Structure 1
Amino acid sequence: MRLILLFGALFMSLAAPASATSEKVAEPGWSLVIHGGAGVIERSRISPETDAAVRAALARALEAGSSVLSNGGDAMDAVQAAIIVLEDDPNFNAGHGAVFTYEGTNELDAAVMDGAERKAGAIARASATKNPILLARKVMEESPHVLLSGEGADRFSAEQGLDQVDNSYFATPERKRQLEELKAKKVGWFDVDLKYGTVGAVARDTKGNVAAGTSTGGLTGKRYGRIGDSPLIGAGTYADNRSCAISATGAGEFFIRVGVAHEICTRIRMKAEARAEFLVQEAARGGRTLDAANQQDLLASALSADEVQSIADAVIGEMGALGGSGGIIYLTPWGHQGYSFDTPGMYRGMASSDGTSSVAVYGDE
């Protein structure tokens, strides 16, 4: 019990990771990772114009979220700022540019989660909120619930004073063409072209808190009120200061079955706790005093970047073995950040307080 309590204290007392070889506690830093969907994203299928437009939008989203974090803002505010940019861009399947249901309407799903207290809010099948991510946050902050759907979500949105739009706002000619093509092919339940344009963001602020958010229009041609993984806490969205923040994109039914977001976070937390307990025992045997600097070094060295990546890859692999495909972005409170996907490409980007910033589209980038 003493070791468990000690490890819990480490999590509560530290805001940012330090190098395992550092003799000092590092200054708090921030990180941001975003995605705009995964799937059959290949150079032969993407026009140069679309490639450039997607990269520019990802860069704008990174800039919006980074501006919040660099000014000392909260992780949740950064996640929201980044996702709004992507919801407003018709190149992504969220907000303006969302795909059509089989019946020719647009139904929006979104979720947010705060890793500090594990508060969460989500909406499914909303039809009138200009930026669905704002409605998910309102559910988290202004209601006793986690998930609202359909007409009730729309009514709650209006009561909260969020911008309301006609359902036609979300439609674009390209999304309409995709629906017509799907119906003409008569290929099955929904789009099988495997282009998941869901958007998401995970952030770590200078206080060491992590947050996650995801927003989507679902799958082209979805029917019967289908809801995917994005608004389901633990499937497509999860954040926990004890482990990591995750946002997913892909074949939602399989992400739900595996509980991908929560599964990755749980494996990271359990491995970090076990490793830290071992290091605490080693320190005690060596007569070391666990002052603040030693605690920082201990926590920072509990898991390596390769170990975190391996956990994410393993869960994505298990989901893929069931027949699903897609990817996730992740970010730990200690600064590990990255992606894991089993598709040819994934719209993605990351930035951090060390000045680095990058966007990518294809799997070989």
Structure 2
Amino acid sequence: MGAWAIAVHGGAGVDPNLPSERQEEAKKLLTHCLNLGITALRSSLSAIDVVELVVRELETDPIFNSGRGSALTEKGTVEMEASIMDGTKRRCGAVSGLTTVKNPVSLARLVMDKSPHSYLAFSGAEEFARKQGVELVDNDFFITEENVGMLKLAKEANAIVFDYRIPVVGLGLETCSVGAGAMESNLQMNGLPIRVYAPETVGCVVVDGHGRCAAATSTGGLMNKMSGRIGDSPLIGSGTYACDLCAVSCTGEGEAIIRGTLARDVAAVMEYKGFPLQEAVDYVVKKRLDEGKAGMIAVSNKGEVAVGFNTTGMFRGCATEDGFMEVAVWN
């Protein structure tokens, strides 16, 4: 028997202005989810079952941007996506464009286990969900009042906005426009200013006592995103990857993560360069993101855990069988 390890994240790119009570709220949820995973691992639940269990819990709570509390599209609706991967046989499942599925990660699991495919999206994914009898809710269930307010501001600013929890006063969101406002922040995505950088995708990576690695990631995407936009979270090899060596879940600027095939590259440098886990994570964050901002959590089949990000902060927690446990936001 090997040693188990688990890591969870709630997004990279935390704004330094985030009020301390909001930080504590986030840390409390991460601690709860970590403890849930630890208990499951101690009762010999497999890695794939643990990542699904933990991400379901993160989706159900509106604190982060997945499931309930997801970011809104430009149309004011929610389009969620998720993926899950079992490293033992590199089996995977992914979903995009979900509007009524209460737990996207569990539908991704069903795509992996109960369909001949790896990835289903939009009406096809919703139809599959109905056939599988998963819990469905109205799109309104996922929409929070805070997010409705943030979308309004994003539209006025003609910007993609990532974090609904930052106080808006003083950020210039009310008056920001493409042009002068864009120059203030210097951060742009496809020519549009990004005013507050905190994409709060959620994810979990686990290695169980048998050395089996698994990863799962779930998100609502970007506030004010175009309808039909797909980010890195459901893309195997970009936002999520697991193999016999390791498991990785990413968060941050989806477009940059996709270009850098971030999650797969961690496994690749371990496999082809012989890097240990943390070194592989550091290498990929440094060399593969170009100008992009992102973070990741990872575990190895040896029971190691690693974290890497090039943003001001990342909501994350990790624990190992030898008693180490940490929940943190900043560097």
- CA distance in 2 between counterparts of 1:199 and 1:41 reads 17
CA distance in 2 between counterparts of 1:168 and 1:41 reads: 28
Partner SS for 2:288: helix
Query: Which residue of 322, 328, 331 maps to 1:360?
Result: 328
Percent of pairs identical after alignment? 40
DSSP 3-state at the match of 1:215: strand
Partner of 1:318: 287
Give the superposition deviation at 1:314. 1.8
Match of 1:52 in 2: 24
1:150-299 mapped onto 2 (5 Å cutoff): 150-187=122-159, 189=192, 191-241=194-244, 243-272=245-274
**How far has the Cα of 1:336 moved from its partner?**
2.1
Contact 2:104/2:218 (<8 A) preserved: yes
How far apart in 2 are the matches of 1:140 and 1:30?
24
- The separation in 2 between residues aligned to 1:128 and 1:198, in whole angstroms, is 18
1:38-88 CA distances to partner (integer Å, 9 max, x unpaired)?
11332xx11122111111100111011111111111001111111112111
Q: 1:141 aligns with which of 113, 131, 138?
A: 113
Deviation at 1:310, TM superposition (A): 2.3
Q: Deviations over 1:221-252 (max 9, x none)?
A: 110411000000000000001x2100000111
Number of positions where the alignment pairs a residue of Structure 1 with one of Structure 2:
300
Contact kept in structure 2, 1:191 and 1:221, CA below 8 Å: no
- Aligned partners of 1:122 and 1:80: how far apart in 2? 12
In structure 2, what is the equivalent of residue 118 of structure 1?
90
3-state DSSP of counterpart to 1:97: coil
Given that residues 190 and 221 in structure 1 are in contact (C-alpha distance below 8 angstroms), is that contact kept between their aligned partners in structure 2? no
Write the distance in 2 (CA, Å) between the matches of 1:316 and 1:115.
22
CA contact (8 A) 1:320 1:342 kept: no
Q: Distance in 2 between matches of 1:271 and 1:336?
A: 18
Unaligned runs of 5+ in 2: 160-190
The equivalent residue for 1:336 is 304
The counterpart of 1:35, out of the listed 9, 12, 16, is 9
**Normalized against structure 1, the TM-score is what?**
0.80
CA contact (8 A) 1:236 1:248 kept: yes
1:349–1:357 CA contact under 8 A, matched in 2: yes
Q: Which amino acid aligns with 2:317?
A: G
1:109 alignment counterpart = 81
Q: Is the Cα–Cα contact under 8 Å of residues 106 and 171 in structure 1 kept in the other structure?
A: yes
Distance 1:159 1:189, change over 3 A: farther
| Residues 163 and 262 (structure 1), Cα distance of their counterparts in 2 relative to 1, 3 Å cut | same
Tell me the alpha carbon deviations over residues 268-287 of structure 1, each in whole angstroms, 9 at most, x when there is no partner. 01233xxxxxxxxxxxxxxx
Structure 1 residue aligned with 2:185: none
Asked if structure 2 preserves the Cα contact closer than 8 Å seen for 1:80 and 1:133, the reply is: yes
Please tell me whether the aligned partners of residues 15 and 196 of structure 2 are also in contact (alpha carbons under 8 angstroms). no
One-letter amino acid matched to 1:201: C
Give the TM-score taking structure 2 as reference length: 0.88
Q: Which residue of 1 aligns with 2:171?
A: none
2:312 matched to 1:309? no
Q: Any idea what SS the aligned residue of 1:123 has?
A: strand
8 Å Cα contact 1:57/1:85 also seen in 2: no
AA paired with 1:324? G
Letter in 2 for 1:211: A
Answer with 330-339 or 131-140: which moved more: 330-339
- 2-structure distance, mates of 1:70, 1:344: 33
Higher helix share: 1
- Looking at structure 2, the residues matched to 336 and 225 of structure 1 have their Cα atoms a distance apart, in angstroms, of 37
Aligned partner of residue 211 in structure 1, secondary structure: strand
- Rounded to whole Å, the distance in 2 between the matches of 1:150 and 1:329 is 28
Partner Cα separation in structure 2 for residue 339 and residue 220 of structure 1: 26
Q: Which has the larger radius of gyration?
A: 1
- Return 5+ residue gaps in structure 1 as ranges: 1-26, 273-302
